[in-house]
Structure 1
């Protein structure tokens, strides 16, 4: 399969609401495998399709264990239908360069989705696994984790990003 380019903020596709997937075919399987390869190469623990420029409701989440180092879960058209409790922990994002911040999320969630064949899925997720799923589902809604930060922290990040982008532009000249 292939590793795709991960789009970074402020790319406009990251702000689009992803479209539902209605066709479950070999092309979808290839996309999922490309996303998994891209996620592991980054390295990351989750990836939404719009992060690689495809505004479709698809996420992959790393659920590796000691026994299975490269396991993943593909969620098609995922929805978080319930949430309870809360926890604050640090997050980063493959699409938000050089930014890590504490974000409040549900501690436990109920997820409904489809698998790659179109079969319904339903499960509960807790703690870190729940955090990753919430982060990725946010992407499908056009929301980045920095949107959960205070106005001040978001403004400071945008200022930092502007400087990073200017430095990259100068290096390319």
Structure 2
């Protein structure tokens, strides 16, 4: 078992150094964690390494390695709606990647529904991604899915989320549907 405290200390020590990579210079912490990821033998170790690497990519504000590791995470870990939604959100913020973002998010929702877990989580992220991409057809479908999901209990799902409601252009959205969603608060 890894000593998480020691690992965190090692990552922090390497964060300020810069190392060359296929994405240009990146924090040394990412290269260090990459080495540990390559040595990881269990799914738990791999999952931890991806969480830490993606955190370091986020700190560095560098979308290229973040996207690389999000894709690699999908290849390395069992498929989960949350992983697809994370990749979709990252793609939505990269110009020219909107179609893939919508596809990956639709895959997240479909998988969530199939497995009956993380459905509200995936649909809420679909709303956020639709807002970023200004796609009110997808937004409407995701809101409808959230409203239709009312009252369903799952062991693995999020509560209803409302952080995005103020960003919705009421003139472009079905007012009754939006009101029904807001009533779920």
Question: What TM-score, normalized by structure 2, do the two folds share?
Answer: 0.25
Q: Which structure dedicates a bigger proportion of its chain to helix?
A: 2
Question: What TM-score, normalized by structure 1, do the two folds share?
Answer: 0.26
Q: Which structure dedicates a bigger proportion of its chain to strand?
A: 1
Structure number with larger C-alpha Rg: 2
